[in-house]
Each structure stands twice: as C-alpha cells, then as structure tokens.
DNA sequence: CATGACACCTGCTCGC
DNA sequence: TGCGAGCAGGTGTCAT
C-alpha cells in the first residue's frame, strides 16, 4: 500500500475538503471492505457526523467526528482517495468501493482495484485499543534513536521485517524499509537484536530521512498510487535499491541483488555496502 | 512469543 | 494470440 509518505500526502491534500464538513449519504459499493460494522449501520451512523479532524496514524487514515467516533480507512495495496467536486464521472466510478457526501456538491471517494482496503467505524474506546497497538511515529518530535532501538533490541527477527512491523514502528513498508537499510549500510537479514547502538542511530536517521524525502516528493508512484489530487508522486526517481535488482549500486557499482528470503517480500540490497 | 502459511483481491508481465 | 504462473506498495488470522 501506500506507506507513510503516500498516506501523509493524501491526507494533507484532502484535509481542507474534509475538515468542517457534515457527512450526508454514504454508499458502500463493496461491503467486503467493512470490518466491524454492517453496511446499513455504517450508512445510518455516518449521516450527520461533523468531521473535525483528518489525519494519519501509521498507514491508517483517520476521520474524526465531533461525536468522538472515527472513520478509519486502510488503503492496503491499491486503495486511493479523492474528493470529487460535482457529478462523478466514469473514472471516479471505476473501482469505487465506498463514497460519502461531504456537502456543497463534494463527494469523498475510496477507490481500490484489488479491494484489499478496509473501512471501519470506531468509538473512542475501540480507537484507543487499536491505536495503542501501533508503534511510535518515526517523524514525531519526541522520537529518537533510543526509542527506536528499544522497540527492536529484544527480537531476533530480521531487521527489515521488524522495521515493517507496525506494532514496533508506524508507517514503514517495503519500499522505504529497503531504502533506509541501504542508506544505513545494514544487511536487511541481520537479526534486529544484533545491531549495535551506532547502527541503530544510523538506521533511525536514514529511516526518518527516506520518509521525509518521500513526503517532499509527494510519495512513490510505481503503478497505482496517486496523491489526493490525482497526480503521481516522484520519489520513484530517487530510489536507490527498491526495484533496481540487477542494476549497479550507486555507492560502489556492485550489482544490486533482489531476494524474497525475508518474509517472502522483495528485498533489494547491495551485499557489498550492506553488512 | 516468533514464524510461516494462507487469505483477501485484481491486474499486469513474462514465458511458452 | 492465448494461457497459466508468478508477482505487486499490506495486514489479519491461524497453526505450529
């Protein structure tokens, strides 16, 4: 799915249209996206809700209402959001899984080709429970390498898999994990508890850097991802390893290698620079 | 508790 | 040209 930078970009793009609006009619085109609620109940409960905040937590999109309840959207692999002004066109309706009126002729759209994405409505208590299971936000002001290292030091899990574990750290997915490990010069297969303090400092720094740079580039568009404005991101032009298996390492010239040995996900690394 | 298999889905690319 | 296999940015559950 969109990872932290992509979700952050979408949320920033759509926030002005969402915050302050009162929800009207909702339509669930693909009931499979719903998790903890029936279609009828969601449609009934959303009507009249006033959105007071539109934000991101890990890769979750959070629309908070004046009531304290929250609509939580996960885009997973191919989900995308848009606010349409006026009538929906053919493209708006393609792969549409959920929509809700925002008022003033605007419609909030959730499209998803693979339909792996999810929609949930949470009361404050369920949100608290859900949110508490997510690791810290790597771009938060109070985040640092000590907090970072503490999340991983007790597991022998491969550092790359640990980095993508949302209960340990929020928002990092496959692309940015590959990039951060390359920049830090760390072998993705190393057990997390084998990294030194210095290596954790480096990895903390590079993880934050790739995420910030990803946001600056408005995300990575390999195929499906679009910003909240429907445009493509540009971080794909700055990727050092992800998707570049067989090409030369930008640091040393050695051939980058792609494997699927860690958690069956594509891992690309320079086995000379990353030790 | 860690790990791996699998499920959820469609679409695209590649090899034959 | 057609067809099956394999792969894709993610996450939740279940068996081991």
Which nucleotide is closest to A95, CA to C1'? B10
C-alpha–C-alpha distance, residues A82 and A46, integer Å:
18
CA distances from A99 to A34, A119, A133, A207, A230 (A): 13, 11, 28, 34, 16
Q: Are residues A108 and A209 in the same domain?
A: no
* Residue whose Cα is closest to the C1' of B12: A223
Domain that holds residue A66: 4-132
**How far: A231 CA to B14 C1' (Å)?**
29
Cα-based angle A154, A160, A163 (whole degrees, multiple of 5): 65
User: Which residue's C-alpha is at the least distance from the C1' of B8?
Assistant: A116
Task: Classify strands A106-112 and A96-103 as parallel, antiparallel or unpaired.
Answer: antiparallel
Q: Which of the residues A59, A226, A240, A244 is marked catalytic? A: A59
A223 touches strand C (CB under 7 A): yes
Which CATH number belongs to the domain containing residue A226 in this structure?
A: 1.10.8.50
Q: What tokens were used for A130? A: 């859900």
d(CA A37, CA A245): 43
A117 touches strand C (CB under 7 A): no
Could you tell me the CATH number of the domain that includes residue A74? 3.20.190.10
Is the Cβ atom of A178 within 7 Å of strand C at any atom? no
Q: Structurally, how many domains does chain A consist of? A: 2
Q: Which residue is nearest to nucleotide B10 (CA to C1')?
A: A114
Give yes or no: A59 in active site: yes
Domain boundary residue among A75, A106, A132? Answer: A132
DSSP-derived secondary structure letter, A113: S
The whole-number pLDDT of residue A1 equals 64
Distance CA A52, CA A269 (A): 43
Q: Are residues A107 and A208 in the same domain?
A: no
Given a cut of 80, is residue A12 above it in pLDDT? yes
Is residue A190 located within the same domain as residue A70?
A: no
Residues 6+ apart with CB under 8 A from A23: A46, A47, A48, A49, A50, A51, A100, A101, A102, A103
Q: Give the CA angle between residues A164, A170, A173 to the nearest 5°.
A: 35
3-state secondary structure of A184: helix
Closest nucleotide (C1' vs CA) to A165 is: C11
pLDDT of residue A36: 86
Same domain, A37 and A107: yes
Q: Is the CB of A116 under 7 A from strand C?
A: yes
pLDDT tens figures, A27-80: 999 999 999 899 999 999 999 999 999 999 999 999 999 999 999 999 999 999
Q: Is the CB of A264 under 7 A from strand B?
A: yes
Any strand B atom closer than 7 Å to A155 CB: yes
A2 in catalytic set: yes
pLDDT at residue A145, rounded to an integer:
95
HEC string of A202-233 equals HHHHHHHHHHHHHHHCCCCCCCCCCCCCCCCC
The tens digit of pLDDT for each residue in A91-149 reads: 999 999 999 999 999 999 999 999 999 999 999 999 999 999 999 999 999 999 999 99
**Whole-angstrom distance, CA of residue A83 vs CA of residue A71:** 16
A149 and A242 fall within a common domain? yes
Is A265 annotated as catalytic? Answer: yes
């Amino acid at each position: 799915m969109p990872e932290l930078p992509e979700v952050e970009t979408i949320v920033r793009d759509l926030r002005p249209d969402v915050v302050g609006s009162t929800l009207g009619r909702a339509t669930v085109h693909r009931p499979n996206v719903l998790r903890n609620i029936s279609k009828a109940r969601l449609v009934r409960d959303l009507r009249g809700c006033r959105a007071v905040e539109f934000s991101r937590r890990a890769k979750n999109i959070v629309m908070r209402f004046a009531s304290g309840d929250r609509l939580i959207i996960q885009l997973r692999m191919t989900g995308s959001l848009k606010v349409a002004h006026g009538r929906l066109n053919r493209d708006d309706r393609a792969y549409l899984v959920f929509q809700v009126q925002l008022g003033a002729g605007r419609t909030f759209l959730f499209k998803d080709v693979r339909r792996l994405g999810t929609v949930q409505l949470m009361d404050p208590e369920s949100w608290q429970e859900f949110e508490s299971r997510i690791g810290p936000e790597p771009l938060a002001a109070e985040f640092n390498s000590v907090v970072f290292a503490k999340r991983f030091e007790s597991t022998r899990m491969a550092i790359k898999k640990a980095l993508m574990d949302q209960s340990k750290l929020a928002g990092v997915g496959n692309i940015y994990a590959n990039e951060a490990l390359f920049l830090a010069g760390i072998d993705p297969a190393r057990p997390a508890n084998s990294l030194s303090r210095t290596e954790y400092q480096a990895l903390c720094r590079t993880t934050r850097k790739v995420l910030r740079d990803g946001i600056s580039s408005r995300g990575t568009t390999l195929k499906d991802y679009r910003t909240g404005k429907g445009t493509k991101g540009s971080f794909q032009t700055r990727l050092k390893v992800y998707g570049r298996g067989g090409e030369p390492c930008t640091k040393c010239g050695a051939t980058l290698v792609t494997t699927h040995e860690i958690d069956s996900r594509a891992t690309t690394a320079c086995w000379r620079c990353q030790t």
